[in-house]
Amino acid sequence: MPNKSVLIDKTKEAVASVLPIVLIVALLSAFWVPLQTDLMLAYLVGAAFLIIGMALFSVGAEISMTQIGTHIGAAMTKSRNPVLILIVSFLLGVAITVSEPDLQVLANNVPAIDTTVLIIVVAVGVGGFLALSMARILYKISLRWLLVGFYGLIFVLALLADKDFIAVAFDSGGVTTGPMTVPFIMALGVGVASIRSDAKAQEDSFGLVGLCSVGPILVVLILGFIYSAVSTTSVTMDPVSYSDTVALGTGYLKAIPGTLEEVGKAMLPIVVFFLIFQVISLRLKRRPFFRILIGLILTLAGLMLFLTGVNVGFSPLGFMLGHQIAKSDFQYMLIPLAAVMGWFIINAEPAVHVLNKQVEELSGGAISAKAMGLSLSIGVAAAMSLSLYRAISGLSILWFIVPGYLISLALSFLVPSTFTAIAFDSGGVASGPLTAAFMLPFAMGTVQALGGNVMTDAFGLVSMVAMMPLITVQIMGVISVLSSRRGLHRKQAPVYTDNDIIELWEA
C-alpha cells in the first residue's frame, strides 16, 4: 500500500488545484451569475470527485507508471538493440496515451470528431514521436533542429488543413503531456539514455515530452485531409436537472459504471503490456510486482472518479457559466475573468512549483523560483484572456500560435539547449487537468451563446496555455545567460608586471 503521508500530500495538492476555481465559481453564482441550485450542488459534488480522483490517480501513477517506465527502460537498455527499443517505445507510447485523462476529457468535448478515432490517432502520434525521441537519444540528434523542422511542417499543413481540425490539433498536443504520460516517458528516457556513456547523455533525456507533444499536432492535421468531420458549428452540454439530493446521488451512481468501463478499456493496453514484459523479461519479485498492481488499481479508481466528476458536474457548469455571462450585459468581463482564473489555476498546479525550482537550479540562482512563478502566472493569465478574446472575436488560432512558436524556436538559438528542452517539456505543466475540464467548456459555452463556431473559436485554449512556458522558460534562460555574462565582465583580470612570478595553476 502507498505511504499514508504521500496520499495526504497528494490530496493537499489536489485541493490546492481545485479549490481556487470552486471559490471563484461560488462567488460568481452567489452575487452575479444566476445558476440553478441543483446544478451548483452537482458541481460541488463533482469538485469532491475531482479532488479524491486526482489524489488517488497521482499516487497510483507514481507507484505504477513511473516504475513500469523505469523497469521497461532498464530492460530495453540491457538488450542494446536499437530496433527493439524503437518498436517497444512506439507500442508503449500508444498504450500509455490512450489512458491519459486530459486526452479523454478533450476527446469527449470535441463534437465533430468521433471520440475513439481522435484518441487512437493522437496515441499513434505520441507513439511515433516517442520512438523518434529514443532515436534522438541513441544517435545524438539535435532537439533544436528537430523542433524547427517539424514545426515548420506543422505550419505548412495548418495553412492547408480543414479549419475545424486546426485548433483541435494544437490542443491535442497540449493534453497528451499529462499526469499519466509525463512520469512514464521521463522514466523511460532516463533508462535509454544510460546506454550512452558520454557526458551529454542525461542532458539529452530532457526534451522527450516536448517532442512527443509534436506528434499529435501533426497526425490530427493529417487526419483533417482524410476524415470527414461531422458538420457542426455549435455544441450543447446541457446539465441534467435533479429534483432532490437523492436524484443527484443516483445520477452520479448511474454514471460510474459507464465511466469505469471506459477507463478499464483505456488502461487495458498498458496493463497487458506490463504483464507480457513481466513474464518475458522483467520477472519482478513478488513485493515490487504487487506494489505496481496496487498502483494500477489506484490509478484506475482515481481516473474513474476524476472523469465522473468532470462529466456529471464540473464541465457542464463551466459550459453554463460561460454561456450565461456571454448572454448577459457583462460580456466584456469574460476576458479579465479568464485571466483571473488562469492566474489561480497555474499557481495551484504542483508541477509548476517543481518546474520553478528546476529553472532556479539550472540558472545557478540567477532566476529565482519566485520570479519564474510570477512570469509563468502572467503568461498563462494572458493566454487565457487571449483565448476568450478569440472566442468572442472569432479570430483564427493561427494568428496567435504561429507567432508564439516562431518566437519559441527563435529563442532556442539564444539559450543553452537544456533550457530549450525543459521549456518544451513544461508545456503540459501549465495545461493541467482543470484547463481541459473547466476552462475549455467555459470557452465552449461562450462561443455557443454568441453563435460562433465551437470547433474553430473555442478549441485552441489548451494549446495557448501550453505554449506560454515555451516562451517564458526560454526568456528566463536569456536573462540567465545575460546575468552570467555580466558577472564574468565584473571580474577584472589581474595586472602582472614583468617581475611577477605567475603560477599557472593559480592564474
Predicted local distance difference test score (pLDDT) of residue 449: 92
Residue 207 pLDDT > 60, yes or no?
yes
Q: Residues 219-242: what's their mean pLDDT?
A: 76
Residue 395: give the domain boundaries.
4-482
C-alpha cell at 200: 551529454
Predicted local distance difference test score (pLDDT) of residue 344: 87
- Report the alpha-carbon distance of residue 488 to residue 477 in Å, rounded: 17
> Does some domain include residue 488?
no
| Contact indicator for 420, 401 with CB cutoff of 8 Å | no
Query: Which of 377, 400, 402, 376 lies closest to 388, judged by CA?
Result: 400
> Does some domain include residue 162?
yes
- Report the alpha-carbon distance of residue 246 to residue 251 in Å, rounded: 8
Predicted local distance difference test score (pLDDT) of residue 208: 83
What spatial distance separates the first Cα and last Cα of the chain, rounded to whole Å? 58
| Contact indicator for 461, 435 with CB cutoff of 8 Å | yes
Residue 36 pLDDT > 80, yes or no?
yes
| Contact indicator for 5, 66 with CB cutoff of 8 Å | no
Q: What is the pTM of this model?
A: 0.87
Residue 501 pLDDT > 70, yes or no?
no
| Contact indicator for 108, 226 with CB cutoff of 8 Å | no
Predicted local distance difference test score (pLDDT) of residue 235: 61
Predicted local distance difference test score (pLDDT) of residue 493: 46
Q: Residues 189-198: what's their mean pLDDT?
A: 70
CB within 8 Å of 211: residues ≥ 6 apart: 129, 132, 133, 136, 143, 146, 147, 424
Predicted local distance difference test score (pLDDT) of residue 506: 41
CB within 8 Å of 302: residues ≥ 6 apart: 52, 53, 54, 55, 56, 57, 58, 59, 60
Range in 73-77, 136-140, 149-153, 314-318 with the lowest mean pLDDT: 73-77
How many secondary structure helices (H) and strands (E) does the chain include?
Answer: 24, 0
Q: 389: pLDDT confidence band, cut at 50, 70 and 90?
A: very high
Q: Residues 397-419: what's their mean pLDDT?
A: 91
Q: 102: pLDDT confidence band, cut at 50, 70 and 90?
A: confident
C-alpha cell at 249: 446521488
| Contact indicator for 460, 390 with CB cutoff of 8 Å | yes
pLDDT higher at 443 or 273: 443
Predicted local distance difference test score (pLDDT) of residue 230: 64
> Does some domain include residue 439?
yes
Residue 347 pLDDT > 60, yes or no?
yes
- Report the alpha-carbon distance of residue 467 to residue 174 in Å, rounded: 8
Predicted local distance difference test score (pLDDT) of residue 306: 92
Total tally of structural domains belonging to the chain: 1
- Report the alpha-carbon distance of residue 22 to residue 294 in Å, rounded: 31
C-alpha cell at 419: 533550457
- pLDDT tens digits for 125-173? 999 999 998 888 888 888 889 999 999 999 999 999 988 899 999 999 9
> Does some domain include residue 499?
no
> Does some domain include residue 504?
no
Predicted local distance difference test score (pLDDT) of residue 118: 94
> Does some domain include residue 450?
yes
Predicted local distance difference test score (pLDDT) of residue 505: 40
> Does some domain include residue 16?
yes
Q: 219: pLDDT confidence band, cut at 50, 70 and 90?
A: very high
> Does some domain include residue 309?
yes
